[in-house]
Amino acid sequence: MPATDKFIAGYKRFRDGYFRQNREFLLKLAQQGQFPKIAIVSCCDSRVEPTIIFDCKPGDLFVIRNVANLVPPCESSDSYHGTSAALEFAVNGLDVESIIILGHTQCGGIMALMDNRPFSTPKSFISTWMKQLESVRSDISSDANFVNQEQRYHACAQQGISQSLRNLMSFPWIRSRVDAGKLKLHGWYYDLNSAELFARQDATGEFQKIS
C-alpha cells in the first residue's frame, strides 16, 4: 500500500472531524489572513513538530524549517536565501513579536557534522549548508572537557542555536526591532527522549530547563 494512502485517509478524517468542528475559526483565518506573534526556526526532522510540542492552533506559529535549524548571516549575494526570505516576511510582513530558534537532540545534521561523516556527494547541498558550523565543530572536537561524543552532539546543537541567534542580529531589520524593544529572540533546545525543553540564558549562554 502506498505510504500516501495513510495521509489521504487522515485528510478525510480531518475534513469530517477537525474541519467541521472548527469550521468558523478556520474560515476566519482563510478570509482575514494570518497574524502569528511568533516565528520559529525549526529543524526539518520529522520527529520535531513545533505545533504539537507547543500545543498550538493553526495561525499561532510562523514556522521556518531547514536542516539543523540554522540561520545564516545576512548576505547580499544573488543566491537563493529561503530562510532569510522567510524571516524577512515574518518580521517585516507579519510583524512578529518573537523569533525562536528551536534545536533538538539527535539531529542528523549535527551528528554527521561532529562525526565528520561524508555526505552522499562531497559537494552536496547539505554538506555546504552544514559548513556554517565548521568552526563550532572544530572548537568542540579539540575541547578536552567533552569526554564522549554524546556530549559533543549536545554542545554542537546548542552552540549552533547560539550562532543562529548572533546571525539573526546581522539582519538590520531584526537588529533595529530588537534594539527598540519590539522584537525578542529566544534559543530553545528540545530533548526528544524526555520531552524536556531548555532555554538559553542571555547572561551566561547556558541552557536551563523550562519547568
Q: Percent of the chain at pLDDT above 70? A: 97
Say which residue the cell 535549524 belongs to. Answer: 69
pLDDT at 123 over 90: no
pLDDT at 79 over 90: no
pLDDT at 118 over 70: no
Strands 197-200 and 38-43: unpaired
Q: All domains of the chain, ordered by start, with CATH?
A: 1-33 (no CATH), 34-209 (3.40.1050.10)
Band the pLDDT of 120: cuts 50, 70, 90. Answer: low
Grid cell of 66 as nine digits: 531547514
What is the secondary structure of the chain as a DSSP string? --THHHHHHHHHHHHHTHHHHTHHHHHHHHHH----SEEEEEE--TT--HHHHTTPPTTSEEEEEEGGG--PPP--SSS--HHHHHHHIIIIIS--SEEEEEEETT-HHHHHHHHT---SSTT-HHHHHHGGGHHHHHHHHT-TT--SHHHHHHHHHHHHHHHHHHHHTTSHHHHHHHHTTS-EEEEEEE-TTT--EEEE-TTT--EEE--
Question: What is the predicted pLDDT for the residue at 122?
Answer: 67
* Separation CA 133–CA 181 (nearest Å): 29
Question: What is the predicted pLDDT for the residue at 97?
Answer: 98
CA angle (113 as vertex; 154, 76 as ends), nearest 5: 105
Average pLDDT, the chain: 95
Give the 3-state secondary structure of 20-74: HHCHHHHHHHHHHCCCCCEEEEEECCCCCCHHHHCCCCCCCEEEEEEHHHCCCCC
Question: What is the predicted pLDDT for the residue at 76?
Answer: 83
Note the pLDDT tens digit of each residue in 145-202. 999 999 999 999 999 999 999 999 999 999 999 999 999 999 999 999 999 999 999 9
